[in-house]
Structure 1
Amino acid sequence: MESPRRRTFEVEDGGFIALVIFITLAFAYLLAPYFGAVLWGVVAAIMFQPMTAKLSVRLGGHSNLATSLVLLLLIAVFVVPTILLGINLVNEATALYGKLTSGQIDIGAMLHDLQSALPQSVRRFITQYGLSDLEKLRAEFGSSITTGLQAVAGRLLSVGQGALSFMAGLGVMLYLSFFLLRDGQRYGDLVRESLPLNRDTRDSLIDHFLLVVRATMRGTVVVAVVQGAVGGILFSLLGIEGALIWGVLMGFLSLLPAVGTGFVWVPVAVYLFATGEMGKAAILVFCGVFIIGMVDNVLRPILVGRDTRMPDFVVLISTLSGLELFGLNGFIIGPVIAALFMAVWNQQRERKLAMAAEMAAADSSTEATEETAAHPS
């Protein structure tokens, strides 16, 4: 019969677990308004805390100075360029929208030139399926472009109009980053010791989480920046309107493995070919295939590494779902959740295999003992 004291301990333990879960959820709800700031502060600490620790050692243990220098580096390399890019993107989107509405950029004329340059068989196909109504196409296509530009400009302008909220989020991120960069190892040890998992499973999952975050950031951000920069510069050199917008769009679409940037430069190349701009089209195709495309094929495996390499379909689905659920933050949350899902199930598989091996060894030992007992020497 179970003793009253044991039942009391079980009730108290259950109550404490419920309290831990409730308080944790309440704290997560409390942080929700600054979820993005906290997320990027943690990511910055994961990425650059090892650098901060090494710099602190070189500076004779002056951890505050080392952390301040690393934080200033992050501001100079990431924060300031991002703000300047946003300002320039607003200006270019506004200017392009003005040219579209004023008729300086005539979508109808562009579609007419494209249709006139197509082969006769293709034009018959277009006519057969009712795609030759240029006015309708012009209205729909032009409306889509202007709506997209309005959305881009509106979203970025809303950031400017909500400058107080933006600055508060940025301040929270930098403030949190400072303490996590300086004391990240201590906080990490506290998390390790608090998790209700056995030591081997806990250490394996935490190490895998840190590995995935670093690999995702390197493989995603670096590739996006390089592909977007190369694409934007190429469009600018070819004299294509809105080069900065197309470059940023290519950077975002590079989140989609293998074909992402092709959604931008391939239609532009087709238009250039169709309208007789053979030289520009050939340059764009060559650079798109052998420079922009190869950036993904060459850099991503080097930056991500084999240990965290996931199937492309998993990366694609988790990235799109992450963006849908969490906005811009989802491009890191989605792949990290997918990687941890695979890691947890790999742990489960390894545990089952280990248990099966132990049971097989125990059965073999039992059979050997029985055999010895049945046939003593």
Structure 2
Amino acid sequence: MFNLSESKYGLHIVIIIIFLLLSLFTVMPVLNMILLGAMIAYGIKPVANRIQSKIKITSISIFLAIIVVIIPLILLFIYVFWETAVFADMFFASHNLSVSSGIDLNLAINTFVQALPVELQGFIKPYLGLLTSGVHEALTYIFNYAIRFIRKFSDVLVQLFVLICSIYYFTRDGDKVMEYIFVFIPKEHRSFFERTLDDVANVLKSIFYGHFLTAIVIGLMGGVGYYFLGYKFALFLGIVTGIAQLVPIFGPWIVYWALAIYAFFVAGDIAQGILTILWGFVLSLSDMYIRPMLASNYADMPSLILLVGFMAGPYVFGIVGFILGPLILGIAYAVIKSFKEELEKDKLEIEKLENNESDNY
């Protein structure tokens, strides 16, 4: 390591540290997009390399890789919003409610309650006022959030622009970034950092294969099952199931239990409700098999790290915290794990030296 008081590079390092801190302060508002871009770039890099082997032009290869990976995600979000709007329109139309002319909240709730079985109506009616108040507060919160979102739309555009730029430049120049970092690492410590980077790569693969890919598989299974069970919006329900799969506390059960309750008490189809619950158990049991199978070849992280990362990440980084939370905690775990292995290695070497010295005596 450099000694700032003795090294001729002391002043240089002080200046670098000052400007690094100023740079961090400057990019702090979009730091989450930069980190997310770096993570996505890691996944896009192999796709870009494969395309580049055919096209030979780096920029075009990266742009095509971004389109291949990002465009389906954008279309997925558009589809989810579209299906939500269609579902809401069908609900309002079926109950003779009009959004454009204004919705009587009390009338909407009363209409919904009257559609329930008589036994359930008797249970809900004493709490009807409380239910109306709760729904009103929830809608107020949603509308206020939408207004704040619209006001900050320019900020959202800036963050999306930073995200796309980060993905492009990290995909193109990610290797150069690592070269800059390794310049400042003493030779005796490079093996530690190389092992740490390998562990970080395994963490990324574990998060993708063990969680995101598992969510995709469970979502597809759920959608197919809901279709054969006769539910409308089966594809939409499958996507919601996959998203719920990403959240450890909730999981897919929150979707299939809601559908089962709807089948039992609203549609009055007991057979459909029972089959929905059984299919839900199949989904949950499949998760126990699919997740270890996909992630077993990569980092073996404690489940608590991912749980805390998924739940705490959104509080710090917003919606992208579902990705950045477990990623950052996973990297911290990988660094500590590498350091522990380094200490154990040094301890074994010291013990060997001591044993050799004792043998010489």
TM-score normalized with structure 2 length: 0.78
Change (3 A) 1:18 1:228: farther
Find the counterpart in structure 2 of residue 72 from structure 1: 67
Q: In 2, are the aligned partners of 1:319 and 1:331 still within 8 Å (CA)?
A: yes
Distance 1:231 1:146 in 2: 32
Between stretches 43-52 and 261-270, larger displacement belongs to 261-270
Q: What RMSD over aligned residues (CA atoms) do the two structures have, in Å?
A: 3.8
Distance 2:269 2:197 in 1: 54
Report the residue type matching 1:45 in the other structure.
A
Q: Is residue 232–residue 246 contact of structure 1 (8 Å, CA) maintained in 2?
A: yes
SS in 2 for 1:260: coil
Q: TM-score, normalised by structure 1?
A: 0.75
Residue 229 (structure 1) shift:
5.6
| 1:360 Cα deviation from its structure 2 partner | 1.9
Which segments of 5 or more consecutive residues in structure 1 lack a partner in the other structure? 1-5, 117-131, 371-377
When structure 1 is superposed on structure 2, of 172-181 and 47-56 the one drifting more is: 172-181
AA in 2 matched with 1:204: R
Structure 1 counterpart of 2:272, one-letter code? K
Structure 1 counterpart of 2:351, one-letter code: A
Work out the CA distance in 2 between the residues paired with 1:146 and 1:243. 29
Pick closer, same or farther for the CA change 1:87–1:25 going to 2, 3 Å: farther
Give runs of aligned pairs for residues 123-272 of structure 1, distance below 5 A.
Answer: 134-145=124-135, 147-148=137-138, 151=141, 155=145, 159=149, 162-195=152-185, 198-228=189-219, 231=222, 249-257=240-248, 260-270=251-261, 272=263
Pairing 1:9–2:1 present? no
What's 2:80 paired with? 85
Looking at structure 2, the residues matched to 234 and 114 of structure 1 have their Cα atoms a distance apart, in angstroms, of 30
Query: CA contact under 8 A between 2:313 and 2:324: conserved in structure 1?
Result: yes
- Deviation of 1:315 after TM superposition, in Å, equals 1.9
Q: How many residues align?
A: 347
Amino acid in structure 2 at the alignment position of 1:39: L
2:301 is paired with a residue of what secondary structure? coil
Is 1:67–1:181's contact at 8 Å kept on the other side of the alignment? Answer: yes
User: For residues 369 and 219 of structure 1, what CA distance do their matches in structure 2 show?
Assistant: 52
For 1:80, give the aligned amino acid.
L
Seen in structure 2, the aligned counterparts of structure 1 residues 278 and 198 have a Cα distance that, compared at 3 Å, is: same
Which residue identity does 1:261 align to in structure 2?
Answer: P
Query: Which is greater in Rg?
Result: 1
Contact 2:222 2:241 in 1 (8 A): yes
Residues 352/215 of structure 1: CA separation in 2 closer, same or farther (3 Å cut): closer
**Kept after mapping to 1: 8 A contact 2:37/2:167:** yes
Q: Deviations over 1:53-110 (max 9, x none)?
A: 2321233x32222222212223432223324433544564577686883427745446
Q: Please say if 1:33 is aligned against 2:25.
A: no
Native 8 Å contact 2:192 2:342 kept in 1: no
Aligned residue number for residue 323 of structure 1: 314
Letter in 2 for 1:71: I
Share of identical aligned residues, percent? 19
SS at structure 1 position matched to 2:277: helix
Shift of residue 332 of structure 1?
1.8
